[in-house]
Amino acid sequence: MEKTVVNDLMNIVGEKWVDTDAERVFSYAKEWTIESYGLVAPEPAEDCVVVKPCEAQEISEIMEYANENSIPVLPKGGNTALSANAIPDEPSIIIVLERMNEKIEIDEQNMTVTCDAGVTLESLLEKLSEHDKLYFPLHPGDEGAQIGGMAIMNAGGVRAVRDGVMRDQIRGLKAVLPTGEIVDFGNRDGKLIKNNAGYDLSHLMIGSEGTLGIVTEVTLDLKPEPPYSATLIIPFEKRNDAFRAVPEILQEGIIPLAIEYVEREQILATAEDLGKEWPATEGAGDLMVILAEDSEEDLFESAAGIENICEEHNSINTLMADTTQEEKELLEIRSHFLPAIEDDVVDCPDITVPRSELGDLMDKLDELSEEYDADMPLMAHAADGNLHAFIMLEDPEVDEIPDYYEELKHDMYQAALDLGGTITGEHGVGALRKKQLKMQYTEREIEIMKSLKQAFDPNNVLSPNRIVDID
Ligand SMILES: Cc1cc2nc3c(=O)[nH]c(=O)nc-3n(C[C@H](O)[C@H](O)[C@H](O)COP(=O)(O)OP(=O)(O)OC[C@H]3O[C@@H](n4cnc5c(N)ncnc54)[C@H](O)[C@@H]3O)c2cc1C
């Protein structure tokens, strides 16, 4: 990066908070995508500069400067993205949000929490654990993710069944536009339950993968904490029996926090990788159901209802963990699924279909696995119809992209689209899925997306050419 740019950035944030050291810059330029899908992820461009602002005003000045001088900018949160969402492909200013991590303000009356964008999920959960009445339900797998990053990625994760994804939790957000203005989109600090004034620009921001603005503050809904919880592990001989039980559980009016599906071989290997034990060993795989209820009676009633439905669908038995420690351990094992295999992963499309179609999608993936002779471990947010199906190295000893990678990926996306689904339910488009976006949307729809990007970012400086290309 040119010396004058570095000096100008130092004038905005102070010398201490501008970094050009190649190794440190690289550690911010890469993301989890590189750790896990190094072969297909793009190489980060050299000559980037890292800037660590401490407030919205500094971000505003950086954006104004970058916009005037046409310098690409990429925001960085916890760096846990999985689709090469913010790996610089040209010399860029990398705005790291980690210093904006102080404010976690709980408003009991309005049942909200307002966080600086750089607060990690881990810090938020820690702060809320001191509070015995209110909690935040969502849990994407890595607690190093920041609240700003989760908002801009519309993260989902394990516990979205009852309460929805990030979009459903956000009451308000503040951001800096690519042209430098600080905005709150009329959200009045997130205190309003209802606001129908004009287009909802904050919801456009949610899920925009850092292309429309830099989030500086987020106000989230909190829920009353249900005092009783338990996690059920329900093994099935046949995978499709497990999937057929899921809609029936929900139709019965039992709405758990989470309904996950894990395959036997992989979940045992994941537990082993952590030096822990998974309680079920028989059958093709398990439903993992996290229940949270207001009374012990309700908890056991829901558990019994689920057990009955699963028995009707040939479950082997029902195992129940009801101490906080046991439950925490099961969630920890489930969350370790990707880290346990990351060395051998090439890519992980997170295709999503209506929950009723998940069994058919998995059958189709089995066919593809056979057709390409490809090992494809998978796990599913079963009640969300959201599947993580991994494309693996052909030979773990040989670091090579399999010849069939592009073709198999295309067929996986097509299978999801044919079943009324989407190419990504969680991880976003990033660099890895940009080409496939055109499989899902019409030309007109893509044109509208481009116009929106141009309206927010006329000089195409913020996360340029992510999601859609601006010619
Ligand atoms: C082991 C593992 C498991 C995961 N499981 C799930 C899961 O179950 N569900 C799920 O949804 N995700 C999951 N993820 C993905 C990831 O945690 C989410 O996408 C997360 O929301 C990203 O947050 P972050 O702070 O790490 O963002 P980063 O990775 O730093 O950035 C992600 C994108 O957001 C942009 N960005 C970051 N912060 C801001 C900001 N303040 N303003 C504007 N743009 C910004 C970046 O430019 C980039 O495009 C998982 C990741 C890992 C590593």
156 lines ligand 1 (CB under 6 A): yes
Predicted pLDDT at 193:
85
HSE (side-chain half, CA atoms, 13 Å) at 234: 32
Model confidence band, residue 408 (pLDDT cutoffs 50, 70, 90): very high
Burial of 141 (C-beta count, 10 Å sphere; 0-12/13-18/19+): buried
And the tokens for 33? 């995508």
Compute the Cα dihedral for 191, 193, 195, 200 and give only its sign: positive
Domains of the chain: 3-96 (3.30.43.10), 104-224 (3.30.465.10), 228-325 (3.30.70.2190), 339-426 (3.30.70.2740)
Is pLDDT at 418 greater than 80 in this prediction?
yes
pLDDT digits (tens, 9 = 90+) for 439-471: 999 999 999 999 999 999 999 999 998 999 887
75 lines ligand 1 (CB under 6 A): yes
**Which of these ranges, 102-106, 186-190, 375-379, has the smallest mean pLDDT?**
186-190
DSSP 43: P
Q: Tell me the three state secondary structure of residue 378.
A: strand
Q: With contact defined as beta carbons under 8 Å apart, do 87 and 34 qualify? A: yes
Q: ∠ at Cα 369 (363, 372), nearest 5°? A: 140
Burial of 36 (C-beta count, 10 Å sphere; 0-12/13-18/19+): buried
141 lines ligand 1 (CB under 6 A): yes
User: In terms of DSSP bridges, do strands 285-293 and 182-183 run parallel, antiparallel, or are they unpaired?
Assistant: unpaired
Predicted pLDDT at 378:
87
Q: Which helix (H) or strand (E) holds 458?
A: none
User: How far, in Å, CA of 140 to CA of 384, rounded?
Assistant: 13
- Residues 222-245, buried b or exposed e (16+ Cβ, 10 A)? beebbebbbbbbbbbeebbbbbbb
pLDDT digits (tens, 9 = 90+) for 320-377: 997 889 999 999 999 898 888 888 899 989 999 999 899 899 889 999 999 999 989 8
Predicted pLDDT at 38:
77
pLDDT digits (tens, 9 = 90+) for 32-52: 777 777 788 888 888 999 999
In ligand 1, the atom with minimum distance to the C-alpha of 148 is: 41
Q: With contact defined as beta carbons under 8 Å apart, do 24 and 139 qualify? A: no
Task: Please give the single-letter amino acid code of residue 46.
Answer: E
Predicted pLDDT at 239:
87
DSSP 11: H
pLDDT digits (tens, 9 = 90+) for 56-94: 999 999 999 999 999 999 999 999 998 889 999 999 999
- Checking phi first, is residue 352 left (phi over 0); if not, alpha (psi -120 to 50) or beta? beta
157 lines ligand 1 (CB under 6 A): yes
pLDDT digits (tens, 9 = 90+) for 298-320: 999 999 999 999 999 999 999 99
Predicted pLDDT at 186:
78
Rounded mean pLDDT, 250-266: 93
In ligand 1, the atom with minimum distance to the C-alpha of 118 is: 41
Helix residue ranges, H only, 207-352: 239-251, 264-274, 296-312, 324-335, 337-341
205 lines ligand 1 (CB under 6 A): no
| Gap from CA of 150 to ligand 1 centroid (Å) | 5
Burial of 8 (C-beta count, 10 Å sphere; 0-12/13-18/19+): middle
350 lines ligand 1 (CB under 6 A): no
And the tokens for 198? 């004009």
Place of tokens 């000045």: 61
341 lines ligand 1 (CB under 6 A): no
User: How far, in Å, CA of 349 to CA of 335, rounded?
Assistant: 17
118 lines ligand 1 (CB under 6 A): no
Rounded mean pLDDT, 143-152: 97
339 lines ligand 1 (CB under 6 A): yes
Q: Which residues pair with 174 in a beta bridge?
A: 217
Task: Please give the single-letter amino acid code of residue 197.
Answer: A
| Gap from CA of 251 to ligand 1 centroid (Å) | 32
Q: Which of 74, 76, 338 to mutate to test the pocket of ligand 1 (most atoms within 8 A of CB)?
A: 76
CA distances from residue 202 to 174, 185, 207 in whole angstroms, order as listed: 8, 6, 10
Ligand 1, atom 28, residue with closest C-alpha: 79
| Gap from CA of 428 to ligand 1 centroid (Å) | 9
Q: Which helix (H) or strand (E) holds 234?
A: strand 228-236
Q: Which of 62, 152, 457 to mutate to test the pocket of ligand 1 (most atoms within 8 A of CB)?
A: 152
The chain-wide mean pLDDT, for the chain, equals 93
Is pLDDT at 140 greater than 90 in this prediction?
no
Ligand 1, atom 13, residue with closest C-alpha: 140
Ligand 1, atom 39, residue with closest C-alpha: 149
Q: Which of 30, 153, 341 to mutate to test the pocket of ligand 1 (most atoms within 8 A of CB)?
A: 153
Model confidence band, residue 432 (pLDDT cutoffs 50, 70, 90): confident
pLDDT digits (tens, 9 = 90+) for 187-226: 888 888 888 899 999 999 999 999 999 999 999 999 998 8
Task: Please give the single-letter amino acid code of residue 465.
Answer: N
Predicted pLDDT at 42:
83
HSE (side-chain half, CA atoms, 13 Å) at 344: 14
377 lines ligand 1 (CB under 6 A): no
Is pLDDT at 246 greater than 90 in this prediction?
yes
Q: Which helix (H) or strand (E) holds 106?
A: strand 104-107
% of the chain surpassing 90 pLDDT: 78
Residues in the chain: 471
User: How far, in Å, CA of 307 to CA of 303, rounded?
Assistant: 6
| Gap from CA of 77 to ligand 1 centroid (Å) | 7
